[in-house]
Amino acid sequence: MKRLYFKYGVMGSSKSAQALMTAFNYSQKGYKVLLIKPSVDTREKASVISSRIGLTAPCLTFDKCTNLTDFVLKSHPNTQVLIVDEAQFCTKEQVDQLKELTARDMVVLCYGLKTNFKSELFEGSKRLLEIAESIQEIKAVCRCGAKATINARVVDGLVVTSGQEIQIGGDEKYEAMCYSCWKKYQTEKLTK
């Protein structure tokens, strides 16, 4: 059955690695797989999905104005499995378009963050939580050993809770934390 999947986790929880492994598994079984990501993700080359553990694969990129139904059906009409990395950056309308693709006999797997550094839902993640048939958390661990649930933005050793929602970065700007550590390190400096 063709469904819309949302697999979310905090930064560093291996979302991109799992997306790439899933693409490999489907490809190995003969499925036509298409990997895409939002162009706002500028950490690596524009046309590459990469993970912290070194896995990489080419992909197509799209922006907030792209109609994803048209984009996929026109550029790769034989796609059977669509994998979207960094799905939190999709608009509400784009998530609805991804859902439309499942009605065309396509499996759509979305990987991304659930919340931003303020612990608020991203627009794309909110819509995915509302309409995806399958929702799965990819777990990660906080520095204290508890389950990490928040993508803390760190500036000069302190967790910050104000600023632009989107600030692309990796381990140099963000750390996955539990709620208690997220609150604690807003007033107490982090030590490595």
Beta pairing partners, 38: 62
Options 44, 86, 172, 188, the catalytic residue: 86
Token reading at 54: 């070194």
Token reading at 182: 């997220």
Token reading at 137: 């958390």
Phi, psi of 139 (to 5 degrees): -80, 155
Token reading at 90: 């999709």
Helices (H), the chain: 15-28, 68-75, 92-102, 123-131, 179-184
130 is catalytic: no
The set of catalytic residues is: 86
